Amino acid sequence: MFQNLVWQKDRMLLNGLVFRLQHYKNDDWEMGPDHFLFYKTKPLIDQYARFMSLEPNFSARNILELGVFDGGSAAFWFEIFRPSKLVGVDITKGKDSEYFQRYVAANDLNENIKIYWGTDQSDAKRLRDIANSDFSGSLDLVFDDASHAYELTKSSFETLFPFLRPGGLYVIEDWAWGHWEEFHGPASPFAKATEPTKLIFELVEATGSAVSEAAGNSMALLPSLSIFQGFAVIERGAVDLPKGGEFKLEDYICRRSKSAGHNFRTHMGAWFSRKYLGSR
């Protein structure tokens, strides 16, 4: 899947396409406008390759991506997965770059790849409309590389996760920026944002929780949660979920009451006294 990637100092080449690595932008660039902008690094893509090697039978026909910058990541994922349809959304009020337009036209992809510009990931109604109109209500894979803020990321997750098929994957990129020192200062673009680590902890809780069925069996909302430094991958279980905005992650998390924890400490304290201090 990733074997055709050619990495160079300031670019990555894939199937005849040029992706400029923005992390290594320099003044020696000689390609003019004939490239995609690509805000991903080789270590990050290597993590994706490692994850996908563990899922050799996974295929994605319907892909939705939140946050596409100039469209480079959309073209990249299309080349990697070769889906029937990939739709990207981005909050910027831009338009398809000339390089993107040439890529679509040259490969006759007008019906297969599309970008909705000026679309906020917190616009739940708009996201549901896209999921229904472009994908007939069924998704295989979602990438969230948009705001990287807790509230907005959770909002998109609760909107789109119900549209995933059982076994589908939901990817949250850059969840760990709150633990990267470069983003801790007042000049950070995330200075006023809540880090998405909070959402990852909630997803861990949901992964450990089960939904009871009337038949007495249990079914996991999230059968698995894979954590990499650059992204987290959430697998969709077979639990029926509402697609009209009623799904709330909190409703699928089972926690002990605070009193249960207090009683545990009380019992452990008594046990310790009997074992090590004796009866007095």
Length of the chain: 280
Q: Record the pTM.
A: 0.90
Q: What average pLDDT does this structure show over 245-249?
A: 95
Residue 116: pLDDT above 50? yes
Residue 279: pLDDT above 60? no
More confident residue, 270 or 40: 40
Give pLDDT, residue 198: 98
Residue 164: pLDDT above 90? yes
Residue 22: pLDDT above 70? yes
Confidence of residue 29 (pLDDT cuts 50, 70, 90): confident
Of the given ranges (126-135, 138-147, 171-180, 211-220), which has the lowest mean pLDDT? Answer: 211-220
Residue 268: pLDDT above 70? no
Confidence of residue 258 (pLDDT cuts 50, 70, 90): confident
Nearest residue to 115 via CA among 152, 75, 83: 75
Determine what percent of the chain is predicted with pLDDT higher than 90: 79
Question: Is 20 contained in some domain?
Answer: no
Give pLDDT, residue 273: 65
Give the structural domain span for 128.
Answer: 59-277
Q: Are 38 and 79 spatial neighbours (Cβ–Cβ below 8 Å)?
A: no
More confident residue, 274 or 36: 36
Question: Is 248 contained in some domain?
Answer: yes
CATH of the domain at 100: 3.40.50.150
Question: Is 143 contained in some domain?
Answer: yes
Question: Is 51 contained in some domain?
Answer: no
Nearest residue to 171 via CA among 44, 269, 279: 44
Question: Is 233 contained in some domain?
Answer: yes
Question: Is 3 contained in some domain?
Answer: no
Question: Is 16 contained in some domain?
Answer: no
* Segments in the chain forming alpha helices (H): 42-53, 72-81, 98-106, 124-135, 150-160, 197-208, 258-272
Residue 215: pLDDT above 50? no
Q: What average pLDDT does this structure show over 170-186?
A: 94
Determine what percent of the chain is predicted with pLDDT higher than 70: 89
pLDDT tens string 49-87: 999 999 999 999 999 999 999 899 999 999 999 999 999
Give pLDDT, residue 280: 47
Average pLDDT, the chain: 91
Confidence of residue 88 (pLDDT cuts 50, 70, 90): very high
> Using CA atoms in the order 254, 255, 256, 259, what is the torsion angle rounded to 10 degrees?
-130
Nearest residue to 66 via CA among 159, 204, 167: 159
Give pLDDT, residue 28: 87
Question: Is 94 contained in some domain?
Answer: yes
Nearest residue to 67 via CA among 51, 97, 87: 87
* Paired strand residues for 148: none
Confidence of residue 275 (pLDDT cuts 50, 70, 90): low
Q: Give the total number of structural domains in the chain.
A: 1
